[in-house]
Amino acid sequence: MGISPWQLLIVLAIVLLLFGTKRLKNIGGDVGGAIKGFKKAMKESEAEEPAKLEKADEEKSKDDSIIEGESTREKDKV
């Protein structure tokens, strides 16, 4: 009970009649451009990620330093 090739051809003919070939071509070009942009952004993100992780590790190591000493509070002085 799948879709037969004849059913697909009928649906394609209806879509062509409703939208026209020029409009479908524009939609296809827009979708292709969006996919290319998405892939480009993913590659740039992957290239930047190691640098961000190294920077975050450096900042974390600076924040984790322990300062030893005596704690003084105003309450203790009174």
Question: How does the average pLDDT of the chain come out, rounded?
Answer: 79
**Region 29-57 average pLDDT:** 84
Higher pLDDT, 76 or 11: 11
Per-residue pLDDT tens over the stretch 8-29: 999 989 988 988 888 888 988 9
How many Å apart are CA 53 and CA 57, to the nearest integer?
6
> How does DSSP assign 18-45, residue by residue?
HH-HHHHHHHHHHHHHHHHHHHHHHHHH
User: Poorest-confidence range of 13-17, 42-46, 54-58, 72-76?
Assistant: 72-76
> How does DSSP assign 5-20, residue by residue?
HHHHHHHHHHHHHHH-
